[in-house]
Amino acid sequence: MMESIPLGPPAQAMVSLTQGLSQINNYPDPSYRKLRAALAQYHQIPPDWIMPGNGAAELLTWAGRELAQYQTTYLIVPAFRDYWRALQGFGAKVTTYPLQWDKDSCSLRLNIVNPQSSGLIVNNPHNPTGKLLARETLLPLLEQFALVILDEAFMDFLTPDEEQSLIPLVFNYPNLVIVRSLTKFYSLPGLRLGYAIAHRDRLQQWQNWRDPWSVNILAAIVGEKVIKDQEFQEKTWQWLVRARKSLFEGLSKIKGLEPIKSSVNFLLVKTQVPSSQLQRELLEHDQILIRDCLSFPELGDRYFRVAVRTEPENQRLLAALAQILS
| Judgement on whether residues 208 and 243 belong to the same structural domain of the protein | no
Q: Which of 194, 226, 258 is the last residue of a domain?
A: 226
| Judgement on whether residues 167 and 255 belong to the same structural domain of the protein | no
pLDDT of residue 103: 67
Its domain, for residue 252, covers: 231-325
Cβ distance 308 to 320 under 8 Å?
Answer: no
Entry pTM: 0.94
| Judgement on whether residues 195 and 258 belong to the same structural domain of the protein | no
pLDDT of residue 5: 81
The distance from CA 233 to its chain's CA centroid, rounded to whole angstroms, is 17
| Judgement on whether residues 28 and 71 belong to the same structural domain of the protein | yes
pLDDT of residue 316: 97
Q: Which of 176, 193, 226 is the last residue of a domain?
A: 226
Q: How far apart are CA 128 and CA 187, in angstroms?
A: 18
Half-sphere exposure (Cβ direction) of 6: Cα atoms closer than 13 Å: 14
* Opening angle at CA 134, ends 292 and 230, nearest 5: 80
CATH number for the domain that contains residue 307 = 3.90.1150.10
CATH number for the domain that contains residue 80 = 3.40.640.10
pLDDT of residue 1: 47
Answer whether residue 6 is part of any domain: no
The domain total for the chain is 2
SS3 57: helix
pLDDT of residue 266: 96
CA distances to 5, 191, 220, 261 from 313, in Å: 12, 25, 32, 20
| Judgement on whether residues 127 and 162 belong to the same structural domain of the protein | yes
Q: For the chain, which residues score pLDDT lower than 70?
A: 1-3, 103
Query: How much helix, strand and coil, in percent to the nearest 5, is found in the chain?
Result: 45, 15, 40
Cis peptide before 125 (omega within 30 of 0): yes
| Judgement on whether residues 73 and 197 belong to the same structural domain of the protein | yes
| Judgement on whether residues 185 and 251 belong to the same structural domain of the protein | no
Q: Which of 205, 226, 247 is the last residue of a domain?
A: 226
